[in-house]
Every structure is written in structure tokens, then in C-alpha cells.
A and B are shown apart, each in its own frame.
Chain A
Amino acid sequence: MSVYALQKLIRDVNRKPASREAYFEAPAEFARSYDLTDDERDALLKLDVGRLYAKGVHGLLLRPFTIIHSVSEPDYLKAIRGEN
């Protein structure tokens, strides 16, 4: 299963102000317009950084996405390294 739709959502939130606003206003509703698997949607809505990374979200998409969620660098690195 391609992680394309998940990465597209994350990139849209990172780069498009209107998408970012819509996402933060109603994340679950925003996610409905992307063709995500149930597990991808769950990881996204729980901001499960380790799971998102393991699914193949590119680090330079995921790290900016977590920065706008105020995830610190040490916490981010622990999560993608599976140290949590």
C-alpha cells in the first residue's frame, strides 16, 4: 500500500495555509478528503510519530509536520527511533 495519500495530506498541511487551517479546525473531517487506510488515519489523528515514520512518511515532511504540532526535536527523534 502506497503511503502517497498520507504524505500528500501532510505536505498540504505543511505548505498550504488554507489546508493547515482546515486540518487544525477539524482533523478527522479534513482527513476524510484523502484516501487513507484506517491505520494511516488512526496514526495521523493520534499523531503517532513513530508509526507515521514507520509507514514511510519522508523525514522532511514528517519533521516540519511535527514542528507545527510543537513536538520537540528530542521527542521526535525518540519516536522515529522507536525509543519511546
Chain B
Amino acid sequence: MPITFASAGSHAPGMTAWADAAPPAQKETLYGAYGHLRDRLARSGTEALIVFTSEHWANFFLDHIGAFCIGRGDSFSGPIEPWLRVDKAKVKGDPELAREIIEACYENGFEPGYSYELELDHGTMVPLHFLTPAMNLPIVPVMFNTLADPQPSARRCLELGRVIGKLAESSPRRIGIVATGGLSHDPGERNHGVIDSDFDRRFLAEMAAGDSERLAKYTRAELAAEGAGAFELLSWIALCGALNGAKGKVVAYEAVKPWATGIGMVEFDGEPVSA
């Protein structure tokens, strides 16, 4: 069954924690864009959501870092941040889908870690808050190491996405994929607050064009130049792989200074039950 829903979007904690610090027009645009994606997801009849997301030292530390980790728990709690202004929730997992993803990875040249105990931070809970506010859609988190050096290469992320996308398409179930993170931002680092809109718009255009080859060539230096948080775009690149280079559409982009992040969203064609 074709992937029923696919989108990529930012997860800056300011979007919920200090939402009103943003200029009202920017907030309205971005909340409207996430609302559009929420409606589309609801119409798609998606039964389970694979979430390509970032680890922010919530689950892992330098005592044990892997490039990717698949969440195969029955449920996942979050957010870990009491200040996020997102209600604490237990989000249902999908252990069977997680097992299928892990097996597909092992059969296709990837050996990701897996965990029954992942906790969710803003990286997952902010997008879920907007996309599935009732938190009633089972998820399989796929955590990317976007913090500890070295991170997996863009090409490997693209290829991992291809494996997971193929698995999702081969499933008789209605599966969606969401990528979260980015765009340019440098949280906790010297350039915190610096947003490179030119880069952000270019990256969004490449995502919307499904330009796999360009996306796979992003180097560590290119991403690092856009702030430490830009490594989260590796999950977006994986989404492009999962969709096999399908074209999409930029839903919105705003450089939001009070949220210290270039915030963007891209949607891709799924197969709506009714549109």
C-alpha cells in the first residue's frame, strides 16, 4: 500500500513553550500550516506513523551512541520537558511495525539499535501535538543521532529511508511517515538565534523537488555551517529516501527570531481515503 501520509516539519520547542513570543502573523502562518497537515493526516486513514526524529540527550549519552535507534515499545511517554506546554501523554507504540522495520533494515545493510523504553522530548512531541493532538495514532520513533560526532552521513540516511519506505509500501496497513527537525538553528551554541533563510529556502526547495542526489551530498561541513540543529535535517533526507524522490510542496516557511529557528514544512502526496 502506498505511504498514506508524509510530511517534514520543524519541532522548535518555542512553537508551544513560548508560542506567543513570535510575531502573530508568523505564528498564524505556521499554526495554519500544521493545521493543514493535521487535517490531511486525519483524512488519510493512516493507521500508524513512523516518526524520523532527533535525539537530544533524552535517551542516550556518550556511554552508548548509535547512529539510529528504532523504538519498539508498547508505548512511549513524553514530553520530558515540563515547560513545553504540551500535555504529558503516553503515546501508543506499534511493536509489530517496529519489528518489521528492524528486520527489513537487517536484511538490507543496516543494523540500527532498538529500544523498548524511549522517552519522547520536544523533537517528537511538538510535531505530534500539532499533527495528532489526541495522541491516538500508534507511532514507531526512529531516532537519529544528530548530536554526537560523528553523525551518519546524508547518503546513509537517505538509504535508510529507502529501506523503511519500501517496507512501509509493502505493508497491507496504511502507514505514514513524518520527519522532524531543523531548519537552520544553533541551540545552546554560539550562533543561537542566527537563522539562514537562504539556506532554509534552498533546502526546502530541494526537499520539495525530491532531489535525492543533491540531498545525499550534504556534507557535515555544510550542515554544521547552518548551526548544530541543522543536523536534524538528516531525518528529512531520510524521508526523501523513503518516498523514493517523490515531489512535494513547501507548505510554509518563516524565520522566527523568538523561536531562534527557521521553521518550515513540506508535504508529499499520499493516498487520501477521501479528499
Contacts and interface: CB of A to CB of B under 8 A. Distances in A.
Given A11-B57, A14-B57, A15-B57, A60 B187 contact: yes
B154 interface: no
Majority DSSP secondary structure for residues of B touching A: loop
Nearest to A73: B192
B228 interface: yes
User: Is chain A's interface secondary structure helix, strand, loop, or mixed overall?
Assistant: helix
A8 B61 contact: yes
A73 B62 CA distance: 26
Residue of B57, B148, B186 with highest tally of chain A CB at under 10 A: B57
Most buried by A among B187, B188, B190, B192: B188
B149 to A, nearest CB: 10
A77 B57 CA distance: 20
Interface in A10-38: 11, 14-15
B202 to A, nearest CB: 25
A60 B62 contact: no
**Interface footprint category on B:** 10 to 19
Nearest to A62: B188
* Max chain B Cβ within 10 angstroms of own Cβ: one of A14, A60, A64: A60
Given A59-B228, A60-B56, A80 B61 contact: no
A2 to B, nearest CB: 9
Nearest to B186: A59
Interface in B176-222: 186-190, 192-193
A16 B83 CA distance: 17
B190 A80 contact: yes
B222 to A, nearest CB: 19
Contacts of A63: 187-188
B190 A81 contact: yes
B108 to A, nearest CB: 31
A59 B187 contact: yes
Nearest to A11: B61
B147 interface: yes
A11 B65 CA distance: 14
B107 interface: no
B189 A80 contact: yes
Given A80-B190, A81-B190, A60 B57 contact: yes
Contacts of A60: 56-57, 147, 187-188, 228
Nearest to A58: B147
15 contacts: A4-B62, A8-B62, A8-B63, A11-B57, A11-B61, A58-B147, A59-B192, A59-B228, A60-B56, A60-B187, A60-B188, A61-B57, A63-B188, A73-B192, A77-B190
Interface of B: 56-58, 61-63, 147-148, 186-190, 192-193, 228
Given A59-B192, A63-B188, A64-B188, 7 more contacts: A59-B186, A60-B57, A60-B187, A60-B188, A61-B57, A80-B189, A80-B190
Interface of A: 4, 7-8, 11, 14-15, 58-64, 73, 77, 80-81
> Which 5 residue pairs are nearest across A and B when measured between Cβ atoms?
A59-B188, A63-B188, A59-B189, A60-B188, A11-B61
